[in-house]
Amino acid sequence: MGPPDPRERFEEMYTANYADLLGYVRRRTESADDAADALAETFTTAWRRLDDVPEGEQARLWLYGVARKVLSNQRRGESRRSALAGRLRDELGAWDAGAWDEAMPQQDTGAIRAAFQRLGADDRELLSLVSWEGLDTAQVATVLGCSRGAVRVRLHRARKRLARELHAAELDLTRYGPRATALVKGQP
Amino acid sequence: MRTDDIDRLVASIAPDAGPGLTPGARELMAGIAATHPAPARRRPFPVPGLRKIHRALVPLALAAVLLTWTLPAEVAFGPRPANALEIRRAGVFFAIAVRDVYAGRESYRRELTEVGLRISMVVVPGAPGAVGQIVVVHGGRLSANRYAPTTWTVPDGYDIAPLVTSAYCVREEDCPIGLRIRAGHRGTETVWVAREARPGEAYLFPRTVSAPPR
């Protein structure tokens, strides 16, 4: 049996990972347009470099790494509107319009969000990859292109910084368990 | 892990992950593959010597695959066991028991993805009579630390149903909550599972699943 047809392989990889990539870019972009364009550019890169895309679970991590660079370029104003993403842009825009007409954020979670936003971009990305994308240390290291040890150290520091920000905001950490409180107090 | 609580705080502010694989997303996929030229296929082993090594490795790789098929599950290679969920294959269904009701949807999602499921699962506090019930939330929006559902429905049981717990229960306290879902189900629904509320905790699960949302 020969190697799979490139188009078949691309479509299989796309459908298996699209939802995860959509979540990744939506959580890091301000508008539906930016999210749609980032998705278009990420998957276009994957198509052009299909031989470089690893198989299975590793494909998702590879795509996260590409999307991360695409978003970085986007923040520098180096992206362009993709003509291929017109309908997707509309769909995501409609989804966004519905997403924010619901209940207002509660006060304590607003405080968590504000504390999180006060962190540096690198800290936010590390914590997000773990808690939003559900990656473990090794997977984060793959996405960021660094060692597991470096991820562990940076992650620990990021968690401590967030805990301090939450403490400074006088959020009642005891609601979230003794470990959160211990972390603020500098215990491992 | 000693920092789970911080991770859960961060998870609680995760923005919504979006509508999944929509028609526009499929259109994008077709557009990319049609508009841009197909990638040039590289030879997997351009160095002649490596090609010979490759041929020599084929029987070894085949033997390794056969070994993983024949070894008992306890000693076979594979993903580490899930800890927030206990997922068993039961015929054409997966029986999914929630072992950590506070683990958070990202943990559940990671473990569900490992068996090819795309649904989102959220465990929310419910009234005592509702514990173990499930609803499929439509138009649910993550806002702050909770979802604000637009509507919900009780699944018809064909693809998704509450977990039948009789196989798990030795004592009543051991009975897990969870759901049963058809293997190969490709939906991206958000399923709420009702857990017992802690003292003073507000019920988020619908009080009566047939009632309109609060």
Q: Which of residues 133-162 of A touch B (CB under 8 A)?
A: 133-134, 156, 159, 162
Q: Which of residues 39-98 of A touch B (CB under 8 A)?
A: 39-40, 43-44, 47-51, 84-92, 95, 98
Contact A162 B150 (CB under 8 A): no
Contact B11 A131 (CB under 8 A): yes
Nearest CA among A135, A61, A130, A55 for reference residue B44? A55
Contact A112 B118 (CB under 8 A): no
Q: Which of residues 43-102 of B touch A (CB under 8 A)?
A: none
Contact B32 A19 (CB under 8 A): no
Q: Work out the average pLDDT over B5-34.
A: 85
Q: Which of residues 163-182 of B touch A (CB under 8 A)?
A: none
- List the domains of chain A with CATH numbers: 6-95 (1.10.1740.10), 102-184 (1.10.10.10)
Q: Min CA distance, A84 vs chain B (Å)?
A: 6
The model's pTM:
0.54
DSSP A51: G
Question: What does the pLDDT look like over B27-86, one tens digit per residue?
Answer: 899 989 887 666 655 544 444 554 555 566 656 655 654 554 444 443 434 334 447 898
Cα nearest neighbour of B1 on chain A: A179
Enter the tokens of residue B82: 């899930």
Q: Work out the average pLDDT over B180-185.
A: 84
Question: What does the pLDDT look like over A124-134, one tens digit per residue?
Answer: 999 999 998 88
A-B contacts (CB, under 8 Å): 181
Residue B109: Cβ within 10 Å count: 23
Residue A166 sits at the vertex; the CA angle it makes with A165 and A169, to the nearest 5 degrees, is 90
Chain B residues in contact with A133 (beta carbon < 8 A): 106
pLDDT greater than 70 at residue B125: yes
pLDDT greater than 60 at residue B151: yes
To which residue do tokens 């020969």 refer?
Answer: A2
Asked if A38 and A71 touch (Cβ cutoff 8 Å), the reply is yes
Residues near B177 by Cβ (< 8 Å), separated by ≥ 6? B97, B98, B101, B123, B131, B132, B162, B163, B165, B193, B194, B195
Contact B146 A14 (CB under 8 A): no
